[in-house]
Amino acid sequence: MLRALIERLRQKHRTMKFPAAAAPPLPERFRGMPLFDPAACAADINALSAACPTAAISSSPSGPRLDLGRCLFCADCPAASRTGAVSFTSDFHLAARDRDVLVLDGTPREFDAALPSALLGLFGRSLKLRQVSAGGCNACEADINVLSTVGWDLARFGIQIVASPRHADGLLVTGPVTNNMRLALEKTYAAVPSPKIVIACGACAISGGPYAGHGEVAGGIADILPVDLYIPGCPPHPLTILDALLRMLTRA
């Protein structure tokens, strides 16, 4: 025990100071909010659409668009573009309450994540979430688990992942919702006391991700449950998830 205490004193404070201080440095290969130029994209739309594994880049009557809810952030599109129509920044602020905001088409977007004032009054200081893996590959789940480690310490914000939906204020859902998990997800949602919130974490939970269109998955949760917050990514970086939760509670 004494050795453990001495080691803790040697290590000192290990929890990051975000959001009170600047975000920790992200790896060089991190891919955040894309820079999307529809006008430049129009010349490469066929190549970009063919390169995208989830049809995140497509053509519409108003012009090319990029759907962050489908995007895997794989960077195949910059490699396929001759005009530099798409590139990725290090901006980790990706979450939004409105699904349509995630569709980039050149018009300004407001990535608002804050809950309505009535829900903020209930959950602003203490939020308990039941995490449901609805057929996920465990990548999103792993990055959610990171938030409970000493470096991130999600609980310092009054946010905790709980074991029972009956102790929860809402669900944090990952995965494309396989047919085998759909009933379990619905029952878990029903067990959460009202009022409650639902967060779709990752491309699979938002749109089905790479599994969209497959007969064994629902293709996301929006057609099954009402979604209050969308967190894009494959998987979303822990900083993206933490930022989303804090902005949802107006804590960042």
Domain membership of residue 38 (yes or no) is yes
127 pLDDT band, cuts 50/70/90, is very high
- What percent of the chain lies above the pLDDT cut of 70? 100
β-partners of residue 197 are 170
For residue 153, the model assigns a pLDDT of: 94
The per-residue pLDDT for range 143-162, each reduced to its tens digit, is 999 999 989 999 999 999 99
242 pLDDT above the threshold of 90: yes
Same domain for 155 and 63: no
198 pLDDT above the threshold of 90: yes
Please give the average per-residue pLDDT across 193-197, as a whole number. 97
- What percent of the chain lies above the pLDDT cut of 90? 76
Same domain for 227 and 128: yes
For residue 8, the model assigns a pLDDT of: 75
Domain with 80 in it: 34-88
Same domain for 170 and 66: no
Domain membership of residue 74 (yes or no) is yes
Same domain for 132 and 44: no
Domain end among 88, 107, 128: 88
Nearest partner of 82 among 29, 32, 37, judged by Cα: 37
For residue 64, the model assigns a pLDDT of: 93
For 68-155, list the strands marked E by DSSP: 86-88, 103-104, 127-133
Please give the average per-residue pLDDT across 86-101, as a whole number. 96
Higher pLDDT, 199 or 47: 199
189 pLDDT band, cuts 50/70/90, is very high
Please give the average per-residue pLDDT across 215-242, as a whole number. 96
82 pLDDT above the threshold of 90: no
Q: The whole model's pTM is what? A: 0.94
109 pLDDT above the threshold of 90: no
Domain membership of residue 110 (yes or no) is no
Same domain for 238 and 136: yes
Q: Which two tokens stand for residue 143?
A: 């990055």
Measured at the CA of 33, the angle between CA 29 and CA 34, to 5 degrees, comes to 90
For residue 44, the model assigns a pLDDT of: 85
Same domain for 133 and 184: yes
| Cβ-contact 202, 162 below 8 angstroms | no
CATH at 62 = 3.30.70.20
Domain membership of residue 218 (yes or no) is yes
Place of tokens 């997800």: 185
Quote the DSSP letter at residue 18: T
For residue 229, the model assigns a pLDDT of: 98
Q: How many domains does the chain have?
A: 2
Place of tokens 């668009």: 65
C-alpha to C-alpha distance for 119 and 189, rounded to whole angstroms:
17
For residue 119, the model assigns a pLDDT of: 94
Q: Which two tokens stand for residue 48?
A: 């970009």
Q: Which two tokens stand for residue 121?
A: 């009054």
Q: Which two tokens stand for residue 180?
A: 């085998």
CATH at 138 = 3.40.50.12280
Same domain for 234 and 134: yes
For residue 12, the model assigns a pLDDT of: 77
